[in-house]
Amino acid sequence: MRFVLAIALAAASAVPVFGASDDAWEQFRADVEAACLTAAEPMFATPEALVDPFGSQSYGLVLLTGRAKGADTEIAAICVYDKKTKAVEIGGELPAP
């Protein structure tokens, strides 16, 4: 199921990649992952982040999975990182893939 969600995120966010260096994309992915993991702290005890390599045209996208804070339940959530403002939002709790 995790593979299916990863494919769905990648397909939904496919955009042409022009003009950015490999180092810039690597820094983008690191920034998105760090921001989403920080935002996930209230929801997850042990979050893991699957970062879409390029995101959509406007957003960085991350699938968060892990154990729910205060429970033994595995959960998932989608994190969206605004490329312009660097604001982060996390969707609601989903069942883990």
Tens digit of each residue's pLDDT (9 = 90 or more) over 17-49: 456 799 999 999 999 999 999 999 999 998 999
This prediction's pTM: 0.78
Which pLDDT tens digit goes with each residue over 48-78? 999 999 999 999 999 999 999 999 999 999 9
The answer to whether residues 93 and 43 touch, using CB atoms and an 8 Å cutoff, is: yes
**What number of residues does the chain have?**
97
Neighbours of 66 (CB within 10 A): 19
CA angle, 4 then 86 then 46, to 5°: 50
Q: Which amino acid is at 19?
A: G
pLDDT at 19: 60
